[in-house]
Amino acid sequence: MTAIAFLFCVFTGRFLYVQLFWREKLLSLALDQWTREIPVSPERGKIFDRNGELLAGNETAYSVYARANAVTDIEHTADTLSALLNIPREEMKAKLSDRSRSEITLLKQGEKALVRSIEGSGLTGVYYARDNKRVYPYGALASQVLGFTAMGSEGTTGLERYYDNFLKGEKGEILYETDLVGTEIGGTSASYLPAENGLNLKLTLDYRIQAFAEEVMGRTLAQTSAKAARCVVLDPQDFSVLAMVNLPAYDLNDPPRNDREALDRLTRNCLVSDIYEPGSTFKIITAATDLEEWRKGNGAAFSPQYVFPSSRTRSVDGTTIKCWSDHKNGKHANQTLAEALNNSCNPCFVDIALSLGRETFYDYLTAFGFGKATGVDFSGEAVGMLIPEGSVRDCDLARIGFGQTIALTPLQLACAAASAVNGGYYYTPHLLDEICSDDGYVAVKTGKKLIARTVSEETSRLLSSMLEGVVRDGSGKHAYIEGYRVAGKTGTAQKYENGAIAQGKYVSSFLGYFPADAPKYLALIIVDEPQGSYYGSTVAAPCAKEIFEGIIGFMKIPAQGGTV
């Protein structure tokens, strides 16, 4: 009796265990055995610019499936589908004969007329479901930023990938009752589990600025026969990205999927993922560092009234550092910091870096975000290259002062300069404004996020007055706009290949903003390897002027009465 009681308890315990702990799994297995499902694709979330302009949407398409167990006439079905889908008959027959899979995908994102033809053929075991096809109304616009999706609608590159979890939604199903071998049971009704559509993205990009900047940079790319042309436009008040231009580009509706080299090259957002030596545009940071230290009373810093001694060269650690030009007509005469910015005189910035010293200068490089990611909401961001403070030599420090021996991303430089002129506030740059549903529910809202203070508001005002002079009187005069207070700095950097200067290869750039007294629009222009004229003053500065004039027109910004 004891043994019988023991066995009864064991079986009862086992029964209860199965009922309580295996219930959901067993129900799932039973459902899978006695039903077959057709997936229902959700509508992928749409992408809009800051003003509600559609940048990425969807068109209705259809997918076609087959169940080998439910196909009653393989020969006829293979003949019919082979002709309609342009698939070799033997390949189609092999698919339909494969009973190891409960469901076979025959077509993704097909046209409605084609699906109607299949439906009208009266084939058993063949089904279709509504799908979605991703479409980009403006083709190549912001192609490296938006990115594209795979045929299965998963985000592959760009923001489509970064925010895929929000955009993709949840799949639904149509469930059919089947017998043990998977054949649909006649007279039964299907169950429908609706899909849950993805959420929409509202970006900080402004379609008008993006499109116009692409037009301007595209024209420059063609006229200069350059390798590439790039531009980033920021709002310095919150670091929202208004435009990101990478040229050459590609059509988002027809990415070069079959050419891996072209796909990797054309889909890369170089403003975020690539680094370069900035050259003289970096002098904005060196000047800001000097002015802030002077304001703090550091005796190693140079005052705005200080006159740098006349010289075209500086000798550091036995290395001779030359200026970019002979500076005829007395431009290498004694000059103040403002004049050194106007003339883009390298020796003056060598003096600043060496006088401030390694520790102080590196404190500011860190505060300005160099050597680390900005935190922008985009995959693959580079951190740049900054010589470790303990390893930097005087000759390295001297070159960093005028934008050599340091490599950074264009976005890093744009953010650093924005903080130098906006009162010293360094925010996290961002491309997303909000994530919302079609009915207006806001799931995520991105606000400005302060990361660091770089300089004081007093230093920003003083620096801006000097940079305004660069556009009014100095090397940036091709960016001057009558009636508007534009400020900025030009740059012309030699390129290096295999550790040596690449003869005849330059990066021309201009970093500018307006209004100078309350920056609202900041643009960094980069033209890589222009042919013919290669100076930032003649190649890049005119692009900034054109883009700023476009913004003035879009936003109907009234004139301020000129520079002061």
Active site residues: 280
- Cα(533)–Cα(520) distance, integer angstroms: 30
Rounded alpha-carbon distances, angstroms, from residue 115 to 43, 109, 120, 183: 19, 10, 9, 22
SS3 of 353-381: HHHHCHHHHHHHHHHCCCCCCCCCCCCCC
- Cβ-contact 384, 275 below 8 angstroms: yes
- Cα(153)–Cα(42) distance, integer angstroms: 10
Nearest partner of 141 among 56, 256, 265, 239, judged by Cα: 56
- Cα(235)–Cα(555) distance, integer angstroms: 14
- Cα(490)–Cα(279) distance, integer angstroms: 9
- Cβ-contact 134, 153 below 8 angstroms: yes
Indicate the angle between helix axes 74-85 and 89-96, nearest 10 degrees: 130
- Cβ-contact 493, 501 below 8 angstroms: no
Vertex 222 angle, CA 217 and 223, to 5°: 95
What is the gyration radius of the CA atoms in the chain, in angstroms? 31
Rounded to 5, what percent of the chain is helix, strand, coil? 35, 25, 40
Strand 313-316 to 240-247 pairing = unpaired
> Quick one: 122 exposed, middle or buried, by C-beta within 10 A (0-12, 13-18, 19+)?
exposed
